[in-house]
Amino acid sequence: EVQLSESGGGLVQPGGSLRLSCAASGFTFSNYAMSWVRQAPGKGLEWVSGISGSGSSTNYADSVEGRFTISRDNSKNTLYLQMNSLRAEDTAVYYCTKQEGYGAVDYWGQGTLVTVSS
Amino acid sequence: QSALTQPASVSGSPGQSITISCTGISSDVGGYNYVSWYQQYPGKAPKLMIYDVSDRPSGVSNRFSGSKSGNTASLTISGLQAEDEADYYCSSYTSSSTVFGGGTKLTVL
């Protein structure tokens, strides 16, 4: 059974940093691209960042480019999102997702809430 | 990376069919046959309902179907049931990212 479990969310002040982790199990982690998708309170889904199975290729939404860094450790079956220079508008539930094919997300984690506020 | 355009809300009575549209541009919806649709209940993670425009994952009811014409994709739900009341999101692959629609709230009257 595929399981994705996020951790690392919480309350952080504007300008601060946070690192999210996602522990994956139930599939061959290194064979699949992964991504982070967020959802601000009461709002829609927003793709944040994606990474290839090997980790050699990464992409970012314009809204987080230069502030967030996605990475993965295939030996630990873990996905990461390093978030720096956080802003109030980054407040959201962040979902770790497994990609199938081109863009489709076939599994989602339960999400972790990041709140940026003073 | 502009969001895809979806109607904010649609509604239908049990047993009826409804269609939700998802409009993009030639570099996303129009350029690839990689449109997905997700169902989300309040407080829950989204669930994949359609991928690659019209394919259904195992376990998804055949009442859900997808199609695409030009820059617009569509999700059709036939034989509407009370349990279909939820938010629905489309998404499209692009050469450098994934883009989501703004979401559509489906109300079953």
- Condensed to tens digits (0 to 9), the pLDDT of residues A1-52 reads 999 999 999 999 999 999 999 999 999 999 999 999 999 999 999 999 999 9
Is the pLDDT at A101 greater than 90? The verdict is no
CB pairs under 8 A between A and B: 65
Residue partners of B72: CB distance under 8 A and separation at least 6: B21, B22, B23, B24, B29
Tally the C-alpha atoms within 13 A of residue A41's C-alpha that lie toward its C-beta. Answer: 7
Who contacts A40 (Cβ-Cβ below 8 Å, separation ≥6)? A46, A89, A91, A92
Radius of gyration of chain B (CA): 13
The rounded percent of chain A whose pLDDT value lies above 90 is 97
Q: Which has the closest alpha carbon to A94: A75, A70, A113?
A: A113
Among B65, B51, B80, B55, smallest CA distance to A105 is for B51
Please compute the mean of the pLDDT values over residues A56-70 and round it to a whole number: 97
Cross-chain Cβ contact B101/A44 below 8 Å:
yes
Q: Based on DSSP, count helices (H) and strands (E) in chain B, helices before strands.
A: 0, 9
Pairing of strands B9-12, B104-108: parallel
For residue B8, give the chain A residue with the closest CA. Answer: A44
**Do residues B82 and B11 lie in contact, with contact meaning Cβ atoms separated by under 8 Å?**
no
Amino acid code (one letter) for B92: S
How many residues in total does chain A contain? 118
Q: Show pLDDT as tens, one digit a residue, over chain B (109 residues).
A: 689 999 999 999 999 999 999 999 989 999 999 999 999 999 999 999 999 999 999 999 999 999 999 999 999 999 999 999 999 999 999 988 999 999 999 999 9
Q: Which residues contact B81 (CB under 8 A, 6 or more apart)?
A: B14, B63, B108
Contact criterion met (CB < 8 Å) for A104 and B1? no
Question: Strands B98-100, B86-93: parallel, antiparallel or unpaired by DSSP?
Answer: antiparallel
Give the residue from A2, A3, A38, A47 with the most B CB atoms within 10 Å of its CB, the best one to mutate.
Answer: A47
Q: What are phi and psi of A88, to 5 degrees?
A: -55, -35
Q: Report how far residue A48's alpha carbon sits from residue A65's, in angstroms, rounded to the nearest whole number.
A: 9
A23: amino acid identity, one letter = A
Chain A interface disruption, residue of B98, B99, B104, B105, most A CBs within 10 A: B98
- The pLDDT mean for chain A works out to 97
Mean pLDDT, residues A89-117: 96
